[in-house]
């Protein structure tokens, strides 16, 4: 039972890192970006190619995946995304689905449609068993432990940036009301470009970390789009604690559901989301005073 909880937490942490960028950009510019998974896929493929063909150590690949996806995010934000902010949601949905389709087909063309295999360093393989009892056995895969550690560090870092730094307060001000923030002299466009780039970078890092756990093939952006959107819709877009708790809930519910009632499959997750959204249409965690 503890093992399931542990796996669920690892899965949830991963989902959080993948989706947090989406949540912040959605809250900031009210932009529905269905192509977010494409950045995660870029990070994942960068890591696979670098480790397998150029022999770059896995630990070096993670920052490279972050930087690569972040750079791509920054470029696309400047060129393609910016004109879309003012458009209606329907246009944004179509635009970003179009981008996701292109990413899927292009990856298929260049990399092939097969599932990619991630080569982990030796020290990340293996498992540790704790509490060898009947009921409370806890088996921790080292890699999952590593994921939890990295994601927890990132979460703390993000929370610190958001809550304590000047950039964080600018970002929060822009999310709450972009017009007033701009009136106070905050360069909202720059804040947004930086946030978009970091969010895409985090997605890339998540993709690199998650390639082993989630599987990596060209349909990745469409397959996990639903999960990212669930995290954002359930967690709300006004803080990062909301998406964090939503991601953990989703991860644990998904792993536990698949383990205990495999016949129902993803049914549990979707139903849970539906019930939560009917109960709180704006997400579980809404900060008062925001727009």
Partner 1 sequence: MDAMQHSLLRNARFKAWEPLLWLAAFAAPALWPGHALIVNEIAIVALFALSLDLVLGYAGVVSLGHAAFFGFGAYAAALFAKLVMPDPLTGLLVGMAAATVLGALCSLTILRGSDLTRLMVTLGMALILLELANKLDWLTGGSDGLQGVIMGPLLGRFEFDLTGQTAAWYSLTVLALWFVLARRWVHSPFGATLKALRDNPLRAMAIGIAVHRRLAVIYTLAAGVAGAAGALLAQTSGFASLDLFALDRSADVMMMLVIGGVGWLYGGVLGAVVFKLLHDVISSITPQYWTFWIGLFLVVLVLVGRDRLLKPWLWLGEGKAVQGAPK
Angle at 119 between CA 118 and CA 121, to 5 degrees: 135
Nearest to 243 by CA among 17, 32, 39: 17
Among 55, 133, 281, 289, binds partner 1 (CB under 8 A): 281
- Asked if residues 254 and 270 have their Cβ atoms less than 8 Å apart, the reply is no
Nearer to partner 1, 8 or 235 (CB): 235
Among 84, 145, 182, 193, binds partner 1 (CB under 8 A): 84
- Asked if residues 116 and 48 have their Cβ atoms less than 8 Å apart, the reply is yes
Shortest gap between Cβ of 245 and partner 1 (angstroms)? 17
Among 60, 75, 91, 163, binds partner 1 (CB under 8 A): 91
Within 10 angstroms of residue 172's Cβ, the number of other Cβ atoms is 18
If binding is defined by CB under 8 A, does position 167 make contact with partner 1? no
Tokens of 179: 């017009």
Residue 190, CA atoms < 13 Å, CB-side half-sphere: 8
- Alpha-carbon gap, residue 18 to 183, rounded angstroms: 32
If binding is defined by CB under 8 A, does position 97 make contact with partner 1? yes
If binding is defined by CB under 8 A, does position 102 make contact with partner 1? yes
Q: How many residues bind partner 1 (CB under 8 A)?
A: 43
Tokens of 172: 């929060």
Binding mask 30-59 for partner 1 (x = CB under 8 A): --x---------------------------
- Alpha-carbon gap, residue 28 to 24, rounded angstroms: 6
If binding is defined by CB under 8 A, does position 112 make contact with partner 1? no
Binding site for partner 1 (CB under 8 A): 26, 32, 80, 83-84, 87, 89-91, 93-95, 97-106, 108-109, 222, 226, 229-230, 232-233, 263-267, 270-271, 273-274, 277-278, 281-282
């Amino acid at each position: 039972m503890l093992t399931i909880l542990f796996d669920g937490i690892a899965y949830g942490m991963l989902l959080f890192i993948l989706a947090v960028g989406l949540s912040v950009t959605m809250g900031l510019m009210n932009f529905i970006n269905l192509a977010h998974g494409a950045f995660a896929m870029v990070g994942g493929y960068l890591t696979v190619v670098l480790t397998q063909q150029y022999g770059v150590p896995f630990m070096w690949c993670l920052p490279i995946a972050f930087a690569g996806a972040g750079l791509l995010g920054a470029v696309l934000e400047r060129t393609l995304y910016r004109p879309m902010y003012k458009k209606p949601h329907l246009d944004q949905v179509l635009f970003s689905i179009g981008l996701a389709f292109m990413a899927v087909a292009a990856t298929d063309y260049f990399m092939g449609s097969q599932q990619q295999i991630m080569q982990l360093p030796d020290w990340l393989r293996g498992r540790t068993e704790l509490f060898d009892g009947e009921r409370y056995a806890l088996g921790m895969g080292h890699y999952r432990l590593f994921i939890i550690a990295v994601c927890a560090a990132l979460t703390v870092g993000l929370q610190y940036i958001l809550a304590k730094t000047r950039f964080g307060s600018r970002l929060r001000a822009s999310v709450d009301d972009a017009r007033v923030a701009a009136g106070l002299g905050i360069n909202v466009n720059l804040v947004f470009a930086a946030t978009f780039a970091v969010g895409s970078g985090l997605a890339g890092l998540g993709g690199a970390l998650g390639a082993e756990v989630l599987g990596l093939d060209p349909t990745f952006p469409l397959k996990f789009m639903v999960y990212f959107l669930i995290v954002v819709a359930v967690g709300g877009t006004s803080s990062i604690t909301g998406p964090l708790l939503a991601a953990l809930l989703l991860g644990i519910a998904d792993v536990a559901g698949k383990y205990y009632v495999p016949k129902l499959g993803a049914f549990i997750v979707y139903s849970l989301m539906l019930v939560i959204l009917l109960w709180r249409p704006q997400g579980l965690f809404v900060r008062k005073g925001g727009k």
